Structures are given as structure tokens and as C-alpha cells.
């Protein structure tokens, strides 16, 4: 995805250039192998860290690049679309958004000094929000952190926690006031910074459909003791902070969806120019050409909306509407592109060696997470269209 056609600053262009250079070193065969072997991409992670990408949004005083969400998206979509697939976004979300951004925005001075320089140097992070019983209904979180002197005592279970098997830091979301005792439903949630590994935390990987170079895990918390200085923000007031992390997460996955769409589409275009079965290149058939053309138009539109969401976020303005609309549009456009890339390749689209089947497995996640497609639509229905809440 070449970003040079947008009105980017010199600094942004340099960032895109740096992302392009990393992407060049991590071609699809690298990811095919990592996915097949379920192996973490150590050399890719090192390249991201060495290029300063884990610290893109971290203030300079802690060693970061002090840039915004827009720059983060530019990096993600370049890495994703030029060769890395979802991996080009995934690892930056786990560490740089869940860890770096949350702490930069909401941490106190001690927390910033403790974590941010380490994140810049490659300390991995994860976020433990989802619970088996609560699912999409975050306010139904059951894991409770109870005060015990100058500590909190926590027991509970989290599920689908990506990167928890390797992370050295976890952004843990719990209730500090049970839902039935909270004055309003959005009160009573708190965020904690937890160091890993910890004997009170058991981590069990879940076998999954794709993104097999990174593990997603069940997390069991049994009488975990968290010192009070590990509370991020104010006790019971975590809801606003969670949203402040989830919107950038949404924007990141929109970048990933568009990026994956373009990556698969570019493979399909090259193939469709060369492949002849009835004497002419298959790309000359409208049935092959038009779905890709339509997906391209939609991806570029979603991308602009995502840039708008990121710009609003960077200026401290409400961005929920744009972030959700961009995600809905990006995942539909991206899925259309990957699906039709697979059709374009015919039987080869189904062969592991041609990579499109992997990108299809990867993009399938983006309809389910970080926010499900249905819940993003529910947000738009209620908050953008002004219709009654649908659930």
C-alpha cells in the first residue's frame, strides 16, 4: 500500500519508508513457515524494536517517537499490506497499544518510568479483558479485585488473551465494585498493570484457526496479589480508559483489514495478468476484474475514514463513530478482496504455498475481534443514527 499519494509530512513519509524496508525483509514465505510451525517471529520482533516501532506513540522523554495514532496506522498498514499480513499489525497492537499507549496516556510518573523505556526496548505486553461468561458484554466482567490493605486480591478467569504466553506485562481489567453494587453499570471497573510471569497466573494456549505465529490463551487468576501502585488510573473509573484503548485497537484492525485486502489483491492481480486458460489472461474477464476493482474502491474509502478517526483521536476529540464505521467498512472491503483473490487463484488459492488461504484465515478474525461486526453496527445504529439501543 503506497501512502506517498496522501499528503504526508516528511516525518510520516520516513516512517512509511522504514516500515516498507522492514516489510521487504519479511516476505510471505517467512510468515508461511512461522504459521505452519506455530513459531514466534523473533527476527521480525527485533526489527520492529530496532526501528523504534514499539515506541511510536511513546513520549520522547521515555525513548519513544512521540507520534500519534495516525502514524501508528501508517506503519501498520504498510507492514501488513506490503508482505507481513496480520502480523504487521498484531504485535504492535499487543505491545504498543495495550501497553505503550495505555500507560503513556493514563499512567502515573512511576508507571511510565517503570514500563515505557522497557516497551521501547521490546518488552512484550498483552491485555486481559475478555471473560468466558461476559464475552462482548464487558460490563458483565466478573473477575473481582478486592482491597486487602495496600494490595488487591484477584481471582477470576480471562479468555482469548493474545500474547499472554510471552508477555512480561499485562493490562488486566477487573471489577473493583461488583456490577450489582455499582451506582451505574459503567462504574466499578479498574485497570491494573501486572508483571508476568506470576505464580498466581496460569496461562494455557487455545488452539486456533490462524495467526499461529502468536498464541492466544486462557488466563486463570488464583489469589493474585497486586500492589495498589499497579492500579492504572482511578479505582472504579476504568471504563473511560478502556474505551480510550479499544478505539485505537479498532483503528489498528481496520488498517489490518485494508492491508490484508490489498496484499491478497496484489497477489491476485499479478496472477490474473499472467494466467491464461481460454487464450486470454483471466484478468480480462469482468467476473475476475470487477470484484477486485470494487474491493479496491471500498478499501481506499475505509482507509480515509480510518485516517479521520485517528486524526480525531490524536486531537483528543470523540472518535467512536468514525472508528466503528471505519472498522465495519474496512473488514467488509478487506474480506471481499481476500475472498476474490482466492477465487482468482482458483485451486491455487486453496494451496498453502500461495499464501491467500492464510490471509483468509487471518482476516476472518477481524469480523469477530476486537469488536464483533454486530456490536460495531449496534454502536453505529445507536450513536450515529440515533436509533433505539438494539440490545
Q: Which residues of this chain interact with ligand FAD, rule CB under 6 A?
A: 126-130, 135-136, 160-162, 208, 216, 365, 368-370, 372, 374-375, 378, 391
Torsions phi, psi of 125, nearest 5?
-130, 165
Element housing 74 (H / E) = helix 69-79
- For the chain, the straight-line distance linking the first and the last C-alpha, in angstroms and rounded, comes to 38
Q: Where are the beta strands (DSSP E) in 33-168?
A: 125-128, 144-148, 151-162
Under DSSP, is residue 192 helix (H, G, I), strand (E, B) or coil?
A: strand
Cβ nearer to ligand FAD, comparing 311 with 381: 381
Question: Nearest CA to 59 among 126, 105, 16, 111?
Answer: 105
Element housing 218 (H / E) = strand 216-227
Residues 6+ apart with CB under 8 A from 290: none
Cβ nearer to ligand FAD, comparing 243 with 368: 368
Cβ nearer to ligand FAD, comparing 284 with 374: 374
CB of 81 to ligand FAD, least distance (A): 21
CB of 129 to ligand FAD, least distance (A): 3
Alpha-carbon gap, residue 60 to 67, rounded angstroms: 9
3-state secondary structure 240-258: HHHHHHHHHHHHHHHHHHH
Q: Where are the alpha helices (DSSP H) in 80-199?
A: 87-92, 102-106, 109-120
Burial of 205 by CB count in 10 Å (0-12 exposed, 13-18 middle, 19+ buried)? middle
Cβ nearer to ligand FAD, comparing 157 with 275: 157
Question: Nearest CA to 267 among 358, 365, 201?
Answer: 358
Cβ nearer to ligand FAD, comparing 143 with 162: 162
Cβ nearer to ligand FAD, comparing 3 with 80: 80
Cβ nearer to ligand FAD, comparing 70 with 161: 161
Alpha-carbon gap, residue 141 to 130, rounded angstroms: 8
Alpha-carbon gap, residue 34 to 25, rounded angstroms: 14
CB of 178 to ligand FAD, least distance (A): 20
CB of 163 to ligand FAD, least distance (A): 7
CB of 331 to ligand FAD, least distance (A): 12
Cβ nearer to ligand FAD, comparing 16 with 87: 87
Q: Which residue has the cell 478502556?
A: 242
Cβ nearer to ligand FAD, comparing 215 with 298: 215
Q: Which residue has the cell 486453496?
A: 350
Element housing 44 (H / E) = helix 42-50
CB of 378 to ligand FAD, least distance (A): 5
Amino acid at each position: 500500500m503506497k501512502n506517498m499519494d496522501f499528503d504526508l509530512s516528511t516525518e510520516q513519509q520516513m516512517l512509511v519508508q522504514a516500515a516498507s524496508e522492514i516489510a521487504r525483509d519479511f516476505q510471505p514465505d517467512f510468515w508461511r513457515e512461522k504459521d505452519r510451525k506455530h513459531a514466534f517471529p523473533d527476527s521480525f520482533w527485533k526489527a520492529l524494536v530496532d526501528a523504534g516501532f514499539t515506541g511510536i506513540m511513546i513520549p520522547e522523554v521515555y525513548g519513544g517517537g512521540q507520534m500519534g495514532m495516525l502514524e501508528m496506522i501508517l506503519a501498520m498498514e504498510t507492514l501488513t499490506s506490503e508482505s507481513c499480513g496480520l502480523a504487521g499489525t498484531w504485535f504492535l497492537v499487543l505491545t504498543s497499544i495495550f501497553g505503550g499507549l495505555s500507560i503513556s496516556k493514563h499512567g502515573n510518573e512511576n508507571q511510565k518510568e517503570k514500563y515505557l523505556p522497557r516497551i521501547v526496548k521490546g518488552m512484550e505486553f498483552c491485555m486481559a479483558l475478555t471473560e468466558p461468561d461476559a464475552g462482548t458484554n464487558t460490563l458483565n466482567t466478573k473477575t473481582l479485585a478486592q482491597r486487602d490493605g495496600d494490595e488487591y486480591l484477584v481471582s477470576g478467569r480471562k479468555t482469548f488473551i493474545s500474547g499472554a504466553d510471552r508477555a512480561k506485562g499485562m493490562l488486566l481489567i477487573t471489577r473493583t465494585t461488583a456490577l450489582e453494587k455499582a451506582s451505574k453499570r459503567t462504574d466499578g471497573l479498574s485497570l491494573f498493570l501486572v508483571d508476568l510471569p506470576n505464580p498466581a497466573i496460569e496461562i494455557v494456549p487455545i488452539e486456533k484457526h490462524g495467526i499461529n505465529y502468536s498464541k492466544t490463551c486462557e488466563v486463570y487468576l488464583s489469589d493474585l496479589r497486586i500492589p495498589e501502585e499497579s492500579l492504572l488510573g482511578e479505582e472504579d473509573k476504568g471504563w473511560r480508559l478502556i474505551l480510550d484503548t479499544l478505539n485505537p485497537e479498532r483503528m489498528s484492525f481496520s488498517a489490518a483489514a485494508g492491508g490484508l485486502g490489498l496484499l491478497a489483491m496484489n497477489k491476485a492481480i499479478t496472477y490474473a495478468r499472467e494466467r491464461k486458460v481460454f487464450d486470454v489472461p483471466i484478468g480480462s474477464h469482468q467476473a475476475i476484474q470487477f470484484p477486485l476493482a470494487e474491493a479496491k474502491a471500498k478499501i481506499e474509502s475505509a482507509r480515509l475514514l480510518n485516517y479521520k478517526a485517528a486524526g480525531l483521536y490524536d486531537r483528543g476529540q470523540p472518535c467512536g463513530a468514525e472508528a466503528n464505521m471505519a472498522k465495519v467498512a474496512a473488514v467488509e472491503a478487506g474480506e471481499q478482496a481476500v475472498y476474490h483473490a482466492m477465487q482468482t487463484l482458483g485451486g491455487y488459492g486453496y494451496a498453502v504455498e500461495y499464501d491467500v488461504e492464510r490471509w483468509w484465515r487471518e482476516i476472518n478474525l477481524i469480523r469477530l475481534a476486537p469488536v464483533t461486526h454486530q456490536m460495531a453496527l449496534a454502536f453505529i445504529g445507536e450513536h450515529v443514527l440515533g436509533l433505539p439501543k438494539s440490545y
